[in-house]
Amino acid sequence: MHGRILIVDDETVIREVIAKAFRNEGYKVFEAADGKEAIEVFEDNDIEIIILDVMMPKMDGWSVCRRIRAESNVGIIMLTARDDDSDQLLGFELGVDEYVTKPVNLQVLLARVKRMQNRLEEGRGGMMHIISKMGIEINKDAYTVKIGGEEIELAPKEYELLVYLIENDGMVLSREQILDTIWGYDYFGDFRVVDTHIKKIRKKLKDKAYGIHTVVRVGYKFDSKSKL
């Protein structure tokens, strides 16, 4: 498997250890020692996934994430020394896809990146796979979502969650099911991340948001037979 990874961390030893692990797996690795350099490297190269530290000089990880999300849906994995739910929620609000705490378990980090890379690869190849419900058109090969022919920008986790809901049209999906499917069994955050992403998806779907229903004390479902 090959991919283009940007590793951003001001701690040289940590950055080099992570970089070596990914190079050994066949990835093309770019490095940056601070937030400002990260933006420059990202803009000059076709980066697929960013592994991004939170606490850095010149520009912190949150600011880098916010800047990049304004123009790209590249995969972002945030690294932090703090195992804090409020930090994780802020990251997901900004569009972080995965969250890994320090000290970094390289095998877990590699597994998460590979899973993200697989999703990207699946979005590029294979036979045309289009889902169309309620005027929402999802092209799983192109990794796009369109409403009325106009593409809407979704972060990777938002896209996966919308696809999961629509592919299970009419079925109630618990928050636990959604967490396990979209974030993985090794995710240790709480259910609020699901609610946060649903809120963002609804906002982006605009007049099609009524298709996503909240099932009190359980979770959510997409119902293509919904009426305004």
How would DSSP label each residue in 141-159? TTTEEEETTEEE---HHHH
In the chain, ranges of CATH 1.10.10.10 domains = 130-222
In the chain, ranges of CATH 3.40.50.2300 domains = 4-124
The reported pTM is 0.57
130-222: in CATH 2.60.120.200: no
4-124: in CATH 3.40.50.2300: yes
Q: What length does the chain have?
A: 228
Predicted pLDDT of residue 36: 92
Q: Which residue has the higher pLDDT, 228 or 5?
A: 5
Is residue 150 over pLDDT 60?
yes
Cis, bond preceding 57 (omega within 30 deg of 0): no
d(CA 40, CA 152): 26
Neighbours of 41 (CB within 10 A): 17
Q: What is the pLDDT of residues 94-144, one digit of tens each?
A: 678 888 888 888 988 998 888 887 766 665 554 447 788 888 989 887 888
d(CA 63, CA 72): 14
